[in-house]
Amino acid sequence: MSSTLLFYGHFTASGSGATGLTVTTDISRITRSSSAVATHTTAGAATEITSPNSNGVYFFKITDADLTLYDYIAVFKTTGTCDQNRVPALYTPAPANVKQVNDLGVDGVGSTADPWGPV
Residues 6+ positions from 13 with CB-CB distance below 8 Å: 56, 81, 82, 83
- The per-residue pLDDT string of the chain (119 residues; one tens digit each, 9 = 90 and over) reads 789 999 999 999 999 999 999 999 999 999 999 999 999 999 999 999 988 778 999 999 999 999 999 999 999 999 999 999 999 998 988 876 454 444 444 444 444 445 545 44
Whether this model's pTM surpasses 0.75: yes
How many whole angstroms separate alpha carbon 59 and alpha carbon 91? 10
The number of domains in the chain is 1
Asked if the structure places residue 30 within a domain, the reply is yes
Domain-located, residue 73: yes
In whole angstroms, what is the distance from residue 4 CA to residue 117 CA?
11
Instruction: Count other C-beta atoms under 10 Å from residue 10's C-beta.
Output: 17
51 lies in a domain? Answer: yes
Per-residue pLDDT at 96: 64
**Domain interval for residue 23:** 3-94
| 54 CB neighbour count, 10 Å cutoff | 18
The verdict on residue 42 lying in a domain is yes
Report pLDDT for 117: 52
Task: Please check whether residue 110 lies inside any domain of the structure.
Answer: no
